[in-house]
Amino acid sequence: MQRANGDWFALEDHGSLRVPVFSSNREAMQAHAYNVELLVFRAVLIDERALSDLAQHNGAPAATFWLVNTPSRNMKRGVLLTHAQLAERVRGLDGHSHLEN
The 10s digit of each residue's pLDDT in 14-48 is: 777 888 998 888 888 888 888 888 889 998 888 88
Q: Whole-angstrom Cα distance, residue 14 to residue 12?
A: 6
Q: What is the pTM of this model?
A: 0.76
Contact criterion met (CB below 8 Å) for 100 and 9: no
pLDDT tens for each residue of 60-74: 666 788 888 876 667
The answer to whether the beta carbons of residues 64 and 17 sit under 8 Å apart is yes
**For the stretch 46-78, what's the b/e string if a residue is b when 16 or more beta carbons lie within 10 angstroms of its beta carbon?**
beeebbeebeeeeeeeebbbbbbeebeeebeeb
Query: For residue 47, which of 87, 2, 1 has the smallest C-alpha distance?
Result: 87
Radius of gyration in angstroms for the set of CA atoms belonging to the chain, rounded to a whole number: 13
